[in-house]
Structure 1
Amino acid sequence: MEGRSIVFASGKGGTGKTTTVANLGVALAQFGKEVILLDADITMANLSLVLGMEDIPITLHDVLAGEADLKDAIYEGPAGVKVIPGGLSLEKIKKAKPEKLRQLIREIGQMADFVLIDAPAGLEMTSVTALLIGKELIIVTNPEISAITDSLKTKLIAEKLGTLPLGAILNRVTNEKTELTQEEIEAILEVPVLAMIPEDPEVKRASAYGVPLVIKNPTSPSAIAIKQLAAKLAGIKWQAPEPESPIKRVFKALFGGKK
């Protein structure tokens, strides 16, 4: 049985898409799902960096260049999530043939319950190719008008390509008055907001260590929002723990979790 292939896209860079995809994939794996993360950003691959998986010998680029088998480019990441990383070498980028992705995704889809595809930001040719290979689309955006406008363009192109928009993830939400509300965003994009992930300093701290946030700090506000979305996608019930207060986090850091 073929798993769900969901492409995660954003109209512009800097929305936190790759970090969100990495953590969502790990969260789904924590719920017992077979998950493959595919870095489809041919020119700016960095999914492996977020997961702390640098220095990977064989990558998606080698497969797209016809120089390696797909099975050799699949690695086990945190919590058992499987990862097909992109290459960082300029030489490998030149050799890669993005048009081969559509053929590969059929093979990958047989291997997991979920295939989460990290698409390049923007609407260049490689981005459009990534939109083509996923059956479903989740837009990762920020609650500001420029990001939402770009996201609308992405959604419209995905629909024309036959990819079904599931909804949007609002990332880095601060609830400032200048931000668009959930209702406004849903009215513009004409898709539901699936999750609202708050601005959270723990995200940067986890990235600095190369450890997914849902593992490093599972009770942080952002981790809880991601786990809730993972549970929704997986079709399971999950009771979120109470977020830790900043004071409690300081005490844990100082005294190693002793109360």
Structure 2
Amino acid sequence: MTGRVFAVASGKGGVGKTTTAVNLAAAMAEADRSVVLVDYDLGMANVGAVLDVRRSSATSSAAHQNAKRSEDVDAADATLHDVLAGEADTLDAVADAPGEFDVIVGGTDIEDFGRADPSKLRDVAEDLRAEYEVTIVDTGGGLSHDTTVPLGLADDVLLVSTPQVAALENTEKTLELARRVGGDVEGVILTRVGGRDVDTPDAVEDLGVPVLGAIPEDGAVADSEDAGEPLIVHAPENPAAQCYRELGYELLDESPPLSFRDDEEDAPAAAGAAGAFSEAMDDEEPEQRSLLSRLTGGRLG
């Protein structure tokens, strides 16, 4: 097997990068792919803080079944930092996440950062590429070596930004970095769309890459993280969850299940949150398009 690697990146923290990575993993797992999410933010690993990660001695994952356990670190406790320190094999660190996908979390102690060797990140990605159909890499925010490596090794780089001008300016720097290291940027995902954030379409256009999706501002996102679940699992019919679902399926070149297809009665919140932004990007009649199409100005859906 040669799986596909997506790197989810942003120019700064706090724009919804990890939330996006988590929910894309859940959406692609729902699409019947074997998926692993890896926290590549070596300094501020936080995937484990928003997901109820569980170790399982009996799992259906091919990676778990075939893993060769290292004697250096207890497989029940291994993290990505242990792998990068040479104290565990890549598959030792795989755990279960709500949403039927696997996850590798990072260590959270300052000592973990000091002993991790970022040069081994590429080897980790190749190990996972051989075991999973989809690997989603949650990169560190900003510009650093451990951010640069996944931008260059991924098949597709997904940029995440709010529509605010300052965030988009930082996103442009990440875009430039990705191109310098040979990364293939698929496009940008806009989060927290709504309210005062709908008046910057020019700044979005200036990036020169497709807008893959727009996720409306939604309090249910914080609720899902408090519950340790992806939004797609916690509130599957929520407007933001539907946007993430459609985006995940679209990235796999598939259509979401009929049970989750939107209509005007099911998705008023999503349309209201991001509709003004969409209209600024495209003047096509919204009722003639899918939810994802409406929110991305007709670029998808």
TM-score > 0.5 by shorter chain: yes
Indicate yes or no: 2:38 matched with 1:38.
yes
Give the structure 2 partner of residue 53 of structure 1.
Answer: 53
Give the structure 1 partner of residue 121 of structure 2.
Answer: 101
Give the structure 2 partner of residue 205 of structure 1.
Answer: 223
Indicate the SS of the match to 1:104: helix
* Aligned mates of 1:75, 1:20 — CA distance in 2: 19
Give the structure 2 partner of residue 88 of structure 1.
Answer: 108
Q: Normalising by the residue count of structure 2, what TM-score does the alignment of the two structures yield?
A: 0.77
Indicate yes or no: 2:189 matched with 1:189.
no
Q: 45-54 or 31-40, which moves further after superposition?
A: 45-54
Indicate the SS of the match to 1:82: strand
Give the structure 1 partner of residue 166 of structure 2.
Answer: 146
Indicate the SS of the match to 1:22: helix
Give identity over the alignment, percent: 35
Indicate yes or no: 2:177 matched with 1:157.
yes
Q: Quick one: which amino acid aligns to residue 221 of structure 1?
A: P
Give the structure 2 partner of residue 125 of structure 1.
Answer: 145
Q: 52-61 or 105-114, which moves further after superposition?
A: 52-61
* Aligned mates of 1:57, 1:157 — CA distance in 2: 34
Two-structure CA RMSD over aligned residues (Å): 1.9
Q: Quick one: which amino acid aligns to residue 43 of structure 2?
A: T
Q: Quick one: which amino acid aligns to residue 163 of structure 1?
A: G
Q: 1:178 and 1:105, CA in 2 relative to 1: closer, same or farther beyond 3 A?
A: closer
On the 8 A contact 1:48/1:54 being kept in 2, the answer is no
* Aligned mates of 2:107, 2:54 — CA distance in 1: 10
Indicate the SS of the match to 2:99: helix
Stretches (4+) displaced over 4 A: none
* Aligned mates of 2:49, 2:179 — CA distance in 1: 31
* Aligned mates of 1:175, 1:188 — CA distance in 2: 21
How far is 1:185 from its partner? 4.3
* Aligned mates of 2:145, 2:37 — CA distance in 1: 21
* Aligned mates of 1:9, 1:99 — CA distance in 2: 18
Q: Normalising by the residue count of structure 1, what TM-score does the alignment of the two structures yield?
A: 0.89
Indicate the SS of the match to 1:115: strand
Structure 2 segments unaligned to the other structure (5+ residues): 56-75, 270-301
On the 8 A contact 1:60/1:87 being kept in 2, the answer is yes
How far is 1:175 from its partner? 4.7
The aligned length equals 244
How far is 1:178 from its partner? 5.8
Structure 1 segments unaligned to the other structure (5+ residues): 247-259
Q: Quick one: which amino acid aligns to residue 78 of structure 2?
A: I
